[in-house]
Amino acid sequence: MKQKIILFTITLMILGLGISEVTAISDAETQANDILNKNSTDSDILVIYFSRTGENYNVGNVEVGNTAMVASYIKEYLKADSFEVVPIDKYPDNYDECTKLASKEKDDNARPQIQNKIDNFDSYKTVFIGYPIWWGDLPMIMYTLMEDYDFTGKDVYIFNTHEGSGDAGTYSTVQSKLSKANVNTDGLALDGKTARSDDGKQKTIEWLKGLGL
């Protein structure tokens, strides 16, 4: 039995996944989940995010999506509430299958249905909107979200995760879509690996400070 444990540890090290690293990733996801699953009742700031778990490009299989990690940093720093956009029909865990479906949804200009609802949306003055970049655009379910709620007069800030495309022009898209809101297009765009790191957390905090929040 001892020999099996030693061989397993060596295998992890060869793969570049030392035991301490595996534990650290798990701890970070657990912490993010704890933050995102607890809402206060007196905040006027809401962090809305769509994020996908399962197999993700360049970061492997994850229990907490890249965008969700960033959402947790914002929520913790601002002591805000959060809302996860959950589709009625779950996206595939397999990366290739998900990209094919996302491409079809974009071609069809689809509006995937959202499973959950935001309680007391009118009570929030400031709203953060976060999403990954899919095929150079917002995921189509984010259009569903923007069409389902009245953002008139709200201060809106945008953040996203990506794998090389930055914001892909989507900040202007959000500003156009939410024309009656005060949309700040000085957004935050982080690649997936950075979003999951301490550096990503620090960049997020620096961005928030730069916004005067």
152: helix, strand or coil: coil
Residue 2 lies in a domain: no
In a domain, 90, yes or no: yes
Per-residue confidence at 16, pLDDT binned at 50, 70, 90?
A: very low
Q: What is the pLDDT of residue 42?
A: 84
Strand partners, 95: none
14 assigned to some structural domain: no
In a domain, 178, yes or no: yes
Domain contains 172: yes
Task: Give the C-alpha separation, 83 to 201, whole Å.
Answer: 19
What are the pLDDT digits (tens) for 152-184? Answer: 999 999 999 999 999 999 999 999 999 999 999
Total number of domains constituting the chain: 1
Domain span at 129: 29-210
The encoded tokens of residue 82 equal: 């959060």
Please tell me the predicted confidence (pLDDT) of residue 40.
Answer: 76
The pLDDT of residue 5 is 39
Q: Answer whether residue 143 is part of any domain.
A: yes
> Does residue 10 sit within a domain?
no
Confidence of residue 23 (pLDDT cuts 50, 70, 90): very low
Structural domain contains residue 56: yes
What is the C-alpha to C-alpha distance for residues 145 and 46, in angstroms, rounded to an integer?
Answer: 14
What pLDDT is stored for residue 170 in this prediction? 98
Element spanning 157, H or E: strand 155-162
Contact 162, 189 (CB under 8 A): yes
Query: What's 71's domain CATH number?
Result: 3.40.50.360
Helix (H, G, I), strand (E, B) or coil at 111: coil
